[in-house]
Amino acid sequence: MVDHIVKRHNKSLLIFHLVCPVKFRRKVFTEASSQTLKEICLELGIRYEYRFLEIGIDQDHVHFLIQTVPNTLISGMVNTIKSITGRLIFAKHPEVKEFLWKKKFWTDGYYINTVGRYGDLTMIENYVKKQGAKEYTQIHQDHPTLFT
């Protein structure tokens, strides 16, 4: 079970599903490089307040389930994870460079999504409507969309 992170002025439960593809979708993970990735991530977690709840490798990409604190810049977290893991995997497993021509471990892109522990969007919307007030007045509603 995932616990809230309690700080002096806030209590939070922020969980992200991050997917990072290897450059050129190369299948570079061996048992040794997978173990190195895990070790690097667990060290990053201590240093940057990221809790890696799960790390899974699917041939040419990695799934991370990460809990963090509210002051974490999400793009900064992704860049930190990708740059440090890529650099250290190359350092500890130089044979991986043979599969990657341009000396970059990860693709430029990634996928990230929030993960809810207590329910989906509809459930949370209903919860907000029923909080405290005898008569809830909705003053705005929009649907999540991608910004272009």
Q: Where are the beta strands (DSSP E) in 4-124?
A: 5-6, 11-12, 14-21, 50-58, 61-68, 111-115
Q: Is the pLDDT of residue 35 over 80?
A: yes
Q: Residue 65 has what pLDDT?
A: 92
- pLDDT-based confidence at residue 87 (cuts at 50, 70, 90): very high
Residue 53: burial class (beta carbons within 10 Å; 0-12, 13-18, 19+) = middle
Q: In this model, does residue 93 exceed pLDDT 90?
A: yes
Q: 5-118: which CATH topology?
A: Alpha-Beta Plaits (3.30.70)
pLDDT on residue 100: 80
pTM of the shown model = 0.84
* 48-78 pLDDT tens trace: 999 999 999 988 899 999 999 999 999 999 9
Tokens representing 108 are 């430029």
Assess contact for 81 and 45: CB atoms under 8 A.
no
